[in-house]
Amino acid sequence: MKRHLQDFRFDRSEYERPDQDWICGWTEAGRPCHLGPDKAGHCRATFECTPFRKDDCWHCTRPGHRGGKCAEGPRPDGTCAHPIPTCQPKRSVRARRGALVGGAVALTAGLALFIFGGPYLVGLREAMISPGPLAAQHSAIDTCAACHTAAARSEAGAGGDMAGGAGEAGEVREAGAPAEAGGPPVTADVQGGSGPGGGAPVSVHGPGLEQTALCLSCHRATDESALQPHGLDPAERRAITARMDSLESRRVPLALLLAALGPDVPQEANGALACATCHEEHRGRDNRLAHMDNGLCQACHVVRFGGFSAGHPEFTVAEGSDDLPYRFDHAGHEVEYFLDEGAEFSCASCHTASSSGLAMGISSFESMCADCHEDEIRRDGMVVLQLPGVDYEILAEAGISVGEWPFNAGIDLDAPLSPLMRMLLSTDPDVAEALDRLEGAELSYLVGEDDATLEAAGRVVWGLKALLHELSTGGREALARRLEQALGTELTGVEVLALVDQRDANQPRSTEPGWLRTLRAAQEEWLPDLASELARHRAGRAVPLDERFDYAEPEAAPGWTVGFDMTIRYLPSGHGDVFLRRLAEASARGEGSGADALLAMLSDESAAGHCAACHTLAPDEADAATAGDVSGRFWLAAEGGTSMHLLTVFDHAPHLVKECQSCHAFGTEAGFEPITRDTCTSCHRPKMATESCLNCHRYHNRPFETRPARRMSERDAERPASARQTTGGA
């Protein structure tokens, strides 16, 4: 039989009030009194009923649900005969929950106030505030102030001015740091450049670049455009964007389409991007700071696509184009030389992966080419100085005497004045003007020329004599002066050593350079009265024609030769000849027609040394704009290059599992077939090799250079002592 426990009739059960804070202490025992505690939790126990008097008799009033009228009835004095025992009231379930909430709130707020509100526990506070460990690259940073201006201001306020503009290279000088939110935008100048003390200052303007300015205090920005997208000058970026406009977006992911509905990329007014836009910190030691999602990479791009195998534009740089710093006819060598000789034409015999694996290096000239080409390089000398053939008889008939002149000069009548000689002569404005006037005429055949041309020819001859005299008497200084005037640029130290001194840096300067010894010997034989003739000519006195037939062969210094045709030639010592290298570099740096002509001469494959047979001796626009050092680029073939484009690299090492010619197929012309995207997408597609943009593209066109660690220690030294002692890990 089931028992019935609960009645809800008013006369059989109490009215429950579970929302009251206190309940009777007898509740647990199952005997709560009907009065219950008051609001303050005090027991109000009295009696089970309050008797009432009727007809001089007291009557019990206990209700039915508490047992009804008692048998004893009230006492004679009118009090109830059943007193309620007192209790210790207890909190209700609801009140206990409320107390727990209050306790939790008080505990949380109290702990927060203690940790964040007072001057204590600074280390714990910083540890609590830090949103996570820094990446491994930044793990040496031990203070928030290194990257957060708010912390720097806080520390400065606490113990001194640590952010004051010291004005040193790399230090952030905040010109308008807001003292509070809503203040003026920050303007900071950060020393950039790669020199010991940094280069030109990089201006960091904008309210969103406070942190970026601090980033640049350690990471050197190399130019003013460092904070622009891709580090490109806005005009250059616009030009690239304009080119991209001709391409179509294909298979654009839904997410990117949705992104187009959102806000623009957060750029400052001048287009600059904060470092933190892409590089997220406080993501743990193993956080890859440089990682970018493919979708994020396309946030700014006008041409968007689903992936490398899904819509990526076709490659635009053809293999074997003129952009390469060297040229080598692979197909020709394989068919015409190696096959004929029965030798194996193997890529690996010349190309090996660099130590980084990024680039395919090229073996040395000695191991690859010397067997066939070393003699070729040494075979032909370069005419440095010469006595050209002069039609002195016609000049004499016109009343212009050239004095003594060797009969054999200019025996090769077809040989023009060598570019180097012409360049040196042109440093004299009068001779340069005469050379220009002679344009179209031949110095060795002046029959029928007008008087002005003949007069110009005479000036050229005497200018040439003056040059020889100046060089033979003035020596190194005269040549250096003439070369610098001719090239329109100052020679560097290594160029002076190679071109003027013709010695190694460890050889004494007292050694007479080979060109000077050879020149003096030749001048003694060819033009023995040069000094007196010049003196008479300059004094306006007549110098009779002296046709010289009899002279001995001058003795040439090693590396030089004196020809029967009155030429002084330089003989290249072999591959990498330092004289020819420096001459090419100096002429590339130089300005003016002389330098151009000299570089054009060296760029001829048949020129002495045959440098241009392999090396592309053509300065690009960047070299011209910056007067930069072209030495690395001219001779890059020996070092191997990795960059295919301003923002594109290719890591060869992981691809060497395939045959080289599976990507680099020989073309019908001298060079390779262009590499198409299909070549790569055979592997780089979903569920196979990765398709990350960062596989081939780099965001920064110029890397930021990290300053020496002393910057951090200096910064630390500037911090208040209290902050240094109490700061915990970042």
Query: Min. distance of Cβ 204 from another protein in angstroms?
Result: 13
**Among 34, 66, 91, 148, contact with another protein (rule: CB under 8 A):** 148
Q: Which lies closer to another protein via its Cβ, residue 16 or residue 678?
A: 16
Site string for another protein, 203-222 (x = CB under 8 A): -------xx-----------
Residue 258 touching another protein (CB under 8 A): yes
Size of the site for another protein (CB under 8 A): 66
Query: Min. distance of Cβ 588 from another protein in angstroms?
Result: 41
Helix ranges restricted to H, 113-268? 122-129, 149-159, 210-215, 234-244, 254-259
Are 515 and 498 in contact by the 8 Å Cβ rule? The answer is: no
Stretch that binds another protein, among 23-31, 33-41, 489-497, 516-524 (CB under 8 A): 23-31
Are 192 and 216 in contact by the 8 Å Cβ rule? The answer is: yes
Are 310 and 251 in contact by the 8 Å Cβ rule? The answer is: yes
Query: Min. distance of Cβ 110 from another protein in angstroms?
Result: 10
Q: Which two tokens stand for residue 728?
A: 């915990």
Q: Which lies closer to another protein via its Cβ, residue 113 or residue 317?
A: 113
**Among 61, 67, 105, 335, contact with another protein (rule: CB under 8 A):** 105
Cβ contacts of residue 423 below 8 Å, gap of 6+? 486, 487, 594, 595, 597, 598
Q: Which lies closer to another protein via its Cβ, residue 132 or residue 558?
A: 132
Pick from 186, 199, 118: nearest CA to 152: 186
Cα–Cα distance measured from residue 593 to residue 50, given in angstroms and rounded to the nearest whole number: 128
Query: Min. distance of Cβ 725 from another protein in angstroms?
Result: 21
Q: Which two tokens stand for residue 627?
A: 């007067």
DSSP strand pairing (705-706 vs 360-362): unpaired
Residue 100 touching another protein (CB under 8 A): yes
Are 6 and 13 in contact by the 8 Å Cβ rule? The answer is: yes
Query: Min. distance of Cβ 149 from another protein in angstroms?
Result: 5
Pick from 33, 50, 38: nearest CA to 86: 33
Cα–Cα distance measured from residue 373 to residue 615, given in angstroms and rounded to the nearest whole number: 14
Q: Which lies closer to another protein via its Cβ, residue 278 or residue 415?
A: 278
Residue 97 touching another protein (CB under 8 A): yes
Residue 130 touching another protein (CB under 8 A): yes
**Among 57, 129, 140, 413, contact with another protein (rule: CB under 8 A):** 129
Query: Min. distance of Cβ 113 from another protein in angstroms?
Result: 10
Query: Min. distance of Cβ 33 from another protein in angstroms?
Result: 12
Q: Which lies closer to another protein via its Cβ, residue 167 or residue 262?
A: 262
Kindly calculate the radius of gyration of the chain based on its CA atoms and give it in whole angstroms.
47
Pick from 225, 228, 227, 223: nearest CA to 215: 227
Cα–Cα distance measured from residue 283 to residue 132, given in angstroms and rounded to the nearest whole number: 6
Q: How many other CB atoms are there within 10 angstroms of residue 161's CB atom?
A: 13
Residue 2 touching another protein (CB under 8 A): yes
Residue 262 touching another protein (CB under 8 A): yes
Cα–Cα distance measured from residue 667 to residue 329, given in angstroms and rounded to the nearest whole number: 10
Are 358 and 653 in contact by the 8 Å Cβ rule? The answer is: yes
Residue 175 touching another protein (CB under 8 A): no
- Distances from the Cα of 597 to the Cαs of 438, 469, 730, in angstroms? 17, 24, 61
Query: Min. distance of Cβ 112 from another protein in angstroms?
Result: 5
Query: Min. distance of Cβ 92 from another protein in angstroms?
Result: 8
Residue 103 touching another protein (CB under 8 A): yes
Stretch that binds another protein, among 128-136, 392-400, 405-413, 519-527 (CB under 8 A): 128-136
Residue 256 touching another protein (CB under 8 A): yes
Residue 712 touching another protein (CB under 8 A): no
Residue 179 touching another protein (CB under 8 A): no
Q: Which helix (H) or strand (E) holds 547?
A: strand 546-548
Residue 266 touching another protein (CB under 8 A): yes
Residue 101 touching another protein (CB under 8 A): yes
**Among 32, 89, 325, 590, contact with another protein (rule: CB under 8 A):** 32
Cα–Cα distance measured from residue 686 to residue 87, given in angstroms and rounded to the nearest whole number: 76
Sequence length of the chain is: 730
Strand partners, 353: 360
- Give the side-chain half-sphere CA count within 13 A for 384: 25
593-602 and 451-487 helices, crossing angle to 10° = 80
Q: Which lies closer to another protein via its Cβ, residue 301 or residue 658?
A: 301
Q: Which lies closer to another protein via its Cβ, residue 173 or residue 330?
A: 173
**Among 22, 23, 470, 575, contact with another protein (rule: CB under 8 A):** 23
Cβ contacts of residue 703 below 8 Å, gap of 6+? none
Q: Which lies closer to another protein via its Cβ, residue 267 or residue 573?
A: 267
**Among 278, 358, 394, 411, contact with another protein (rule: CB under 8 A):** 278
Residue 39 touching another protein (CB under 8 A): no
Stretch that binds another protein, among 13-21, 438-446, 531-539, 623-631 (CB under 8 A): 13-21
578-589 and 451-487 helices, crossing angle to 10° = 100
Give 583-610 as a 3 state SS string: HHHHHHHCCCHHHHHHHHHHCCCCCHHH
Are 284 and 132 in contact by the 8 Å Cβ rule? The answer is: yes
Site string for another protein, 279-308 (x = CB under 8 A): ---xxx----------xx-xxx--------
Query: Min. distance of Cβ 625 from another protein in angstroms?
Result: 31
Q: Which lies closer to another protein via its Cβ, residue 151 or residue 578?
A: 151
Stretch that binds another protein, among 126-134, 217-225, 365-373, 679-687 (CB under 8 A): 126-134
**Among 76, 131, 167, 448, contact with another protein (rule: CB under 8 A):** 131
Cα–Cα distance measured from residue 578 to residue 504, given in angstroms and rounded to the nearest whole number: 10
Query: Min. distance of Cβ 90 from another protein in angstroms?
Result: 11
Are 697 and 297 in contact by the 8 Å Cβ rule? The answer is: yes
Residue 149 touching another protein (CB under 8 A): yes
Residue 552 touching another protein (CB under 8 A): no
Q: How many other CB atoms are there within 10 angstroms of residue 648's CB atom?
A: 14
Query: Min. distance of Cβ 311 from another protein in angstroms?
Result: 16
Pick from 146, 136, 125: nearest CA to 282: 136
Q: Which lies closer to another protein via its Cβ, residue 1 or residue 539?
A: 1
Q: Which class for 13: exposed (0-12), middle (13-18), buried (19 or more C-beta within 10 A)?
A: exposed
**Among 71, 179, 261, 552, contact with another protein (rule: CB under 8 A):** 261
Residue 709 touching another protein (CB under 8 A): no
Q: Which lies closer to another protein via its Cβ, residue 14 or residue 477?
A: 14
Cβ contacts of residue 424 below 8 Å, gap of 6+? 385, 467, 482, 483, 486
Stretch that binds another protein, among 3-11, 215-223, 238-246, 446-454 (CB under 8 A): 3-11
**Among 10, 12, 31, 348, contact with another protein (rule: CB under 8 A):** 31
Residues near another protein (CB under 8 A): 1-6, 13-14, 16, 18, 23, 27-32, 93, 96-97, 100-101, 103-105, 107-109, 112, 116, 127-133, 144, 148-151, 210-211, 255-256, 258-259, 261-266, 273, 276-278, 282-284, 295-296, 298-300
